[in-house]
Amino acid sequence: MPTARESATVLDGKALAKQIEQQLSTRVDAIKAKTGRTPSLATILVGDDPASATYVRMKGNACKRIGIDSIRVELPTETTTEQLKAKIDELNNDPDVHGILLQHPVPAQIDERACFEQIDIAKDVDGVTSLGFGRMSMQQPAYGSCTPQGIMHILNHYEIELAGKEAVVVGRSPILGKPMAMMLLNANCTVTICHSRTQDLAAHIRRADIVVGAVGVPELIKAEWIKEGAVVIDAGFHPREGGGVGDIEMEGIAQKASAYTPVPGGVGPMTINTLIRQTVEAAEKSAGLNADNKS
């Protein structure tokens, strides 16, 4: 693996997402030609969180770019768990809906996990159900959680060698850290998961060939901890005046890493792209086209 002093590779998720969108548009046209129906993604937004509304809008725009329908479902802040589950069931039973996204987070009174589990596995294009996680972990067909699945697409596209490498994932959330660790394990990495109770985080980072920041704390992982020639993946984004920062301190990373994802423009675009791609796969499967939903 070349060192960054020779040439650090910028893992450009934005450019890769744009390239994949062109391929998805062709696949959507084929679905429409065969079935006369347009693939659709239902997005459920509960409450009025402005960041969540922005994310839902970005996902809707991505749908529009490749020609699939975005069905926007907006529910009031006071929605109960049972009301939300009933709405999910409506979408599960609607043959015109191919994918369902429940935007995270939901208001505190709602049992988010119970609502995630209500999503039909065939429509779980965001990869949030326990069944989907279990199938993915056991290398069975499933739609992967979108952020880690998007990261795997980046690593594969740039031909980053994974087998036998030491990977450290910082974060253990059910839709990012845990599935990321399992995907890397399935790619034959030796994986360490670090979290808030980890002792001497720096020591774990220093030995890692691949570092994934997925903890949700601005610049928690310091550039000086990064091993020479490591691959650095930052799945975090924290708005700052004039832009934003990730979970990893980026100043100096280009001089140490062999490859790294920029913030923004690295992981984020591939998260949304994976959601849209998996919706297209679900529509293909529903239409009886030759689709493989093992992402």
In tens, the pLDDT along 38-73 reads 999 999 999 999 989 999 999 999 999 999 999 999
Query: Which DSSP string do the residues of 12-31 spell out, in sequence order?
Result: -HHHHHHHHHHHHHHHHHHH
Decide if 126 is catalytic: yes
Of the candidate CATH numbers 3.30.420.40, 3.40.50.10860, 3.40.50.1820, 3.10.180.10, the domain formed by 34-122 belongs to 3.40.50.10860
Decide if 256 is catalytic: no
At residue 259, φ and ψ (nearest 5 deg) are -160, 150
Of 125, 151, 141, 133, nearest to 63 by C-alpha is 125
Decide if 140 is catalytic: no
Please state whether beta strands 238-240 and 243-245 pair in parallel, antiparallel, or not at all (unpaired): antiparallel
Boundaries of CATH 3.40.50.10860 in the chain?
Answer: 34-122
Q: Domain spanning 146-268 has what CATH number?
A: 3.40.50.720
Active-site pick, 12, 87, 103, 278: 103
Half-sphere exposure of 44 (CA within 13 A, CB side): 31
Boundaries of CATH 3.40.50.720 in the chain?
Answer: 146-268
Tally of CB atoms within 10 A around 239: 11
pTM, to two decimals: 0.94
Please state whether beta strands 259-260 and 9-10 pair in parallel, antiparallel, or not at all (unpaired): parallel
In tens, the pLDDT along 245-256 reads 999 999 999 999
